[in-house]
Structure 1
């Protein structure tokens, strides 16, 4: 099993700063230059190119740790696709969410082909156009559209797949479904999300 990159290992900046930069970039619609400016206001002088390298190196590892923390999804998934253009070529971006609106997986592909579950699987994929069934999936595309406009261009399908696979868990972890909670419940959920992030990304593990 490939070992995940460790933000504590041979880096000039503490892991807390590295993870915070990655969190800012993926939790909000910010550019690397925006994150550079926000860190500079706190007295942390780091270039936007360094922030870009941190995101490429650690985002997927951080997202994998958050996925392990997610509750087990239900057997019914909802699928929806949007069209994105990469270097002038049209691609399909599929996103699967469970009944609670949690993004479970994303897939960027050049053809409109849906991979159905095997016969042994109890999982059901709903690809209907019912507004009720697909509303949560369609809403989950909105942060991607915002980020796509912010990035201005995506260089390759591989870059899109890597970025969106990492962004989904990090963004959703940082944005609980506020409309389903009271203000007090939301604050508790938000505090728990902050604590989990610190535990998973900033605490050095002893091997």
Structure 2
């Protein structure tokens, strides 16, 4: 029976829309297992890691590799860059004794082809980075101001300030009378949280937030 260990990785900012989310990786791995694996097969374990592709210090990957070698299983990833974005790191994995891995999106690729693909992908990323840097430098040379226009920043700040005031006004009927009666901010937080009221983000109230709300309502000195 063919044995597999699956490994999925996402960076902090990656999600389903990027095509690199966990669901997308799981789908690709399942397609590989169902269509390209020898049968019968068994998935011994699944490993998931939240880490950037340029960071080689990944405990979940090392654990997956160790388990794959221990059970003579094949390590499966959805895309080659889920292992790493560095060709040197991928090359070191290819040379690691007792390790066999497969890339779901490239089911027929051998080690040589994967190495070439990794090298080309790294070269493309470097080229894009250099091209972007050159374009920014050229824009600065022409006097183009980079970043968001000042009026957009001002509008955003005003909108955030208005939203914060509206949030404070929603609980003003609770926090203002309590503050005027001499209750501490900590006590007010306890009352809000005990009543089941939540912030606009669905979180519990804390002393810092309640203090800011009272200040916006003009009750900080009460």
Please indicate the TM-score interval, normalised by the length of the shorter structure. under 0.3
Of the two structures, which has the highest relative contact order with CA contacts closer than 8 Å and spacing of 6 or more? 1
Please identify which structure carries the higher helix content: 2
TM-score normalised by structure 2 residue count: 0.20
TM-score normalised by structure 1 residue count: 0.21
- Rg larger in structure: 2
